[in-house]
Amino acid sequence: MIRVRDVHMHFGDVKVLRGVSFDVQRGETLCILGGSGGGKSTLLNVMIGALRATDGEVVIDGQSTRGMKERQFDDVRRKFGVMFQGGALLNSMSIADNVALPIGYHTKLDADTIETMVKMKLYQVDLLHAADRRPSAISGGMQKRAAVARALALDPKILFYDEPSAGLDPIATTRIDELINKLKTTMRMTNVVVTHVMESVQRIADHIIMLDKGAGHPRRDAR
């Protein structure tokens, strides 16, 4: 499902990633671990196309993104969803409108169908009761679940999570972890999680990769 091969990322003279390689199969959860400044977020940004690798290759669902133009990458982007560290929900609209945004933008479905789909997505993350609220009016944990609902909007095969536990209390963290596991078991979702919380890793990871000063250490079975 995802193949990362010998990815290097340099910012001027600073080498952030130095030859990272790994594979993730369909329905697996990979956790990317490492200390601050170790290149975790950079690796995630390379995989989602926010940054282009200096060298190496990222293949997503059989499509190599190397040298791909921005418009071609848009087709790849519809195959995955991303949950950002702070949720990154659009504050000017309600939770339901946030989830409806990619559906309305990329499909020609009528308003009633979109509303039904949005309710289904919000039900999956247990946020149906907060559909009409603004992101600023809900808790951090709810914002992250809403971000997962938005990431699920176009029924992707892959979900990327950037620090899903950051800033959350243990109960909210557990809820997010249960949601990740539920998506894996019920939808065979491929999850790639950047985190530094070991309790979460123990709960969700099938495999892990340790990033140390930009080098990816061989992945090993987490369980």
Partner 1 sequence: MSTPEAATSGPIGSFFGRIGRSFLSFRAPIVGLLRHVSGVWHLFLLTTYYSFIGPFVGRSKLRRQLFPMLSNVGARSFPIVFMINFLIGAILVIQMGPVMKDFGQTGLIPSVVALAVCREFGPVMTAIIMTARVGASYTAVLASMKINDEVLALETMAIHPVGYLVAPRFLAMVIMMPCLVVLSYIVGMIGGGLVAYAIFDIGAESYIQRTTDGIGMIDVIAGLVKSVAFAVIIALICCYYGLITEGGPMGLGRNTMVAVVSSLVVVIIADLIMGAFFIQYVFA
Task: Kindly indicate which of the ranges 1-9, 74-82, 123-131, 189-197 contains the residues binding partner 1, using the contact rule CB under 8 A.
Answer: 74-82
- 102 binding partner 1? (CB under 8 A): yes
Could you tell me the smallest distance in angstroms from the CB atom of residue 122 to partner 1?
17
Please report whether residue 104 would count as binding partner 1 according to CB under 8 A. Answer: yes
CA distance 9 to 20: 10
Q: Residue 109: helix, strand or coil by DSSP? A: coil
Of residues 190 and 219, the one with the C-beta less far from partner 1: 190
The 5-44 site mask, x for binding partner 1 (CB under 8 A), equals ----------------------------------------
Q: Give residues 141-170 in contact with partner 1 (rule: CB under 8 A).
A: 150, 153-154
Q: Is 49 in the site for partner 1 (CB under 8 A)?
A: yes
Instruction: Name 12's Cβ contacts closer than 8 Å, sequence gap at least 6.
Output: none
Angstrom distances, CA of residue 56 to CA of 39, 111, 168, 188, 222: 15, 43, 35, 28, 26
Residue 90 CB neighbour total at 10 angstroms: 12
Span from 19-27, 48-56, 122-130, 169-177 in contact with partner 1 (CB under 8 A): 48-56
Interaction between residue 88 and partner 1 (CB under 8 A): yes
